[in-house]
Structure 1
């Protein structure tokens, strides 16, 4: 009987030791599962003073850390009044120069290429020399009605016309129409491999090599600003006051400011620090949010 009890005790002790080792693997599996299903979020970091009048677009320059803000400075996004401007703010939310470039009409989307800042201005594309802060060229776009967002890739500037449903390009002094038939198209972005993505009435879409476009998310419709995160993920803003995290199968509403009547127009993005810059339009300020996903 003593021998039996001793064997029984040794068996129980061994089982306890083996059991004590197993929870570590279980915890690791749980941690990995949680990480895979994490809900994307935006956390407010700061807001500028409310003196960036009718700010429509924010652009973060990865090369210099400069943040540009386009200001319509009026109620009408189609009025040619010469009141529009480009401001510069700091990464801490201070307005460094509220009138870096002035004399525009209703500036909207922006993109940088080869030392120039390109801005849509109702029916024209404006080129600003960054070093001198002077308008260096202006191109009228035939038939344009409501030029909006802008993206750059390898020296080519792509921009949308929300009213005509067209995507235009500029390269080597010439304006061309890349694609058309996209109702209410606004946000546009180009990936590192040159694939064009856009937001229109049908949703989030991408352009194929043959020039056709495929909708990859039909739920995020009528978007304004578009950011490519990589790995098939995107951030899309809706002017009314929504910011979405989206891919080809899901979408998550990360920010809803409609109740506060705070718009979320053409967003900018600091990829290194995962910060989204939101122009609030009629609230006249830019808000910065930390992205966690």
Structure 2
């Protein structure tokens, strides 16, 4: 009897694991913007306004570039306002907190009024080398920021800047996502890390082949992540990974992605290809 119970238990566990691993997604192309977007690095879905914001580097991602801008797009990929905010410095990751849009510049974070596109404040980060992505804890009002060239995670809370984490195993930190009081970090070695900001405890969720640029949550502990070079990965709840797209042979980048959970639409900025592509997740 015990032997039969053990056999049934193992069989049931195997079935559950099999079903879990079988659950996946496919990317179906829906639209692509025109090429008026110059060097788009990041896409952010705004559920309040039902628009997309696109951070366009508009040139090289360096300190000398002061011509970056934020574009506003409709959900059909049409440009509503090409330069919603202009004269920014190598813009990259974005996040929304209340009625403000936050975007990284090279060594500081710009705070922008969503109503007007006007820059309200800038928050310099001491010693910053290459600020990259942003994720926001809307419950606690914390803006998290990565510095890819200094392998650090910073926080801005009520205008005050503080260091969250630095040192090993952080390396080339890029993508960020806040989910259930945890901060997910895309590491330069391809690891997707989960940080408890209260205890500083880190754990590895999954690992892909290269540095993680964009991270979005699909629910039930599943994610889509991108590598800048052109790879898009699906991460299963058990941490296994599945390569869904690879445009690196065509030198077509997949930078910091955005996601609309209501329509299950993924938005992929192609960087030097100067477009944003939309894919439905089936």
- TM-score scaled by length of structure 2: 0.88
- Runs of 5+ in structure 2 lacking a partner? 1-17
- SS of match in other structure, 2:249: coil
Cα contact 1:168–1:179 (8 A) shared by 2: yes
Deviates more, 1:211-220 or 1:249-258: 211-220
Find out whether 1:264 has 2:246 as its counterpart: no
In structure 2, what is the equivalent of residue 172 of structure 1? 158
User: Is residue 49 of structure 1 aligned with residue 34 of structure 2?
Assistant: yes
TM-aligned CA distance change 1:251 to 1:35, over 3 Å: closer
| Residue aligning to 1:230 | 219
- Rounded to whole Å, the distance in 1 between the matches of 2:42 and 2:192 is 19
Cα deviation for residue 35 of structure 1 reads 9.1
Distance in 1 separating the partners of 2:188 and 2:52: 29
Alignment of 1:194 onto 2:181: yes
Cα distance in structure 1, aligned partners of 2:107 and 2:93: 12
Work out which of the residue numbers 173, 178, 192 in structure 2 matches 1:204. Answer: 192
TM-score by length of 1: 0.85
Question: Does residue 1:146 correspond to 2:130, yes or no?
Answer: yes
Q: 1:188 to 1:273 in 2, by over 3 A?
A: same
1:1-293 alignment runs, 5 A limit: 37-74=22-59, 76-153=60-137, 154=139, 155-181=141-167, 182-191=170-179, 193-202=180-189, 203-208=191-196, 209-219=198-208, 221-247=210-236, 248-292=238-282
After TM superposition, which residue ranges in structure 1, 4 or more long, deviate above 2 angstroms?
Answer: 33-36, 218-221
